[in-house]
Amino acid sequence: MLKRCIIMGVTLLLAANGIGAGSADPARKSAHDPGPIRGPFASVTGIVRNDRDKVVPDTLVRFVRERGAHATFQRRTNADGTFAIDLPPGVFHILATHRGEGRSSTKVNFSPNQTINLEISLQKPGWYPCGHHHFHLGTRLAHKA
């Protein structure tokens, strides 16, 4: 009885992971899976600074694709406040956030084989007299030739 339960448990585990005789075709994608993203890519580097012009390590920089395959890519800045990522072409919302240092957001259209350097300036939220937040959209683009 114990042997039968162990075999049944392993079979269920393999089936749940898509392994075995009854598994689905691995080449088939679901309607929600856009499949692999193919190049050519844009090469993006950048640096994140705070409102005192100091580099900010461990900042989360997210790239959210606007159209097509809605994909999100992210990087954390290194100890020197820099990051690097290769992205597929398209329009991306770039959101940089760091607890205690603030945030920044902007929108950029990346082209195939483009090399671009982002200088992101984090700003802490300010308060208007009516109580609404505002955020500085402080991202500067520097195109490399």
pLDDT at 50 over 90: yes
User: Is the pTM value of this prediction over 0.75?
Assistant: no
What's the number of domains the chain is made of?
1
Residue 89 lies in a domain: yes
**Euclidean distance between CA atoms 104 and 123, whole angstroms:** 6
Per cent of the chain over pLDDT 70 is 59
What pLDDT score was predicted for residue 114? 96
Residue 26 lies in a domain: no
Domain around 66? 40-143
Residue 9 lies in a domain: no
Give residues with Cβ within 8 angstroms of 59, minimum separation 6: 48, 76, 77, 81, 96, 97, 98, 101, 120, 122
Mean predicted confidence (pLDDT) in 18-26: 37
Residue 72 lies in a domain: yes
CATH value at residue 46: 2.60.40.1120
Q: Which tens digit of pLDDT belongs to each residue from 78-125?
A: 999 999 999 999 999 999 999 999 999 999 999 999 999 999 999 988
